[in-house]
Chains A and B, each alone.
Chain A
Amino acid sequence: MDRTKILVVDDNPTIRKGLSVRLRANDYEVLFAEDAISATAALVTERPDLVILDLGLPAGDGFVVMERLHKNDRLANIPVIVLTGRELADNRDRALQAGAAAFFQKPVEDGPLLFAIRKALDVSRGELRFDD
């Protein structure tokens, strides 16, 4: 069986590296994008199972990526987990309304992030509902 593919979108290379070590240790395949344009391209060409998305990105922010994703029928049900250094007050509700499955402010504990990933994947595969 193919490994679950996660696209990590963050403009900070150290954050990308840290997430990749943690996700690979949990048996996920990890892909990267560092801006909104390469994220959109990777969504189309790689069709990941889940996206971990920063909001502050070059060439359009994370909200632009979510909008593009949800406008494309083929990609619209890929779950997005937002992981950002931005303020909660201005961004959490907006991200959840834009369709994010979960929102975390950096720095995040590994346990809750991995739990949210598993849950979002189960929901997207129809094995669980969000309110379960």
Chain B
Amino acid sequence: MTEPTPRRSELTAHLAHDFRNALSCIHQFGNILVDGLAGELSDEQREYVRIMLENASKIRKLLDSALEGTADSQENSTNKIERVSKLET
């Protein structure tokens, strides 16, 4: 498997930031609708918005897990480099 480079890490952080902003908008406006701040919803409409919100939360969890994986991978990569350096000295 290819190890993440600094350029890739930067790109990942940038993508994560943009994902979080987009999720934040879905989350904010979904809750505004559910709470009736833009007018009352029917029970059916409220249920559909809840489904959207639940899935936005799932995407957030997936994103956090994926980023943890990237961080672990980077840490392992650093450890490998340190180990190699120690072996070389």
Q: A21-B37, A21-B38 are in contact. Are A56 and B17 (CB under 8 A)?
A: yes
**Does A107 lie at the interface of the complex (its beta carbon under 8 Å from any beta carbon of B)?**
yes
Interface residue A2 (Cβ < 8 Å from any Cβ of B): no
Give complex CA distance A21, B25 in Å: 12
Q: Are A85 and B38 in contact (CB under 8 A)?
A: no
A25 — nearest CB in chain B belongs to which residue? B37
Size category of the binding interface on chain A: 10 to 19
Instruction: Look across to chain B and name the residue whose beta carbon is closest to the beta carbon of A56.
Output: B17
Summarize B's interface: helix, strand, loop or mixed: helix
> Are A22's CB and B17's CB within 8 A?
no
B50 within 8 A of A: no
- In the bound complex, residues from chain A placing their C-beta under 8 Å from that of B17 are 56, 85-86
A38 part of interface (Cβ distance < 8 Å): no
A19 partner, pick from B19, B28, B71, beta carbons under 8 A: B28
> Known contacts being A87-B13, A107-B27, A107-B60, is A12 close to B21, with CB within 8 Å?
yes
Residues of chain A within 8 A of B67, CB atoms compared: 87
* Ranked 8 nearest A-B pairs via Cβ: A18-B28, A85-B20, A107-B27, A106-B24, A107-B24, A85-B17, A106-B20, A14-B25
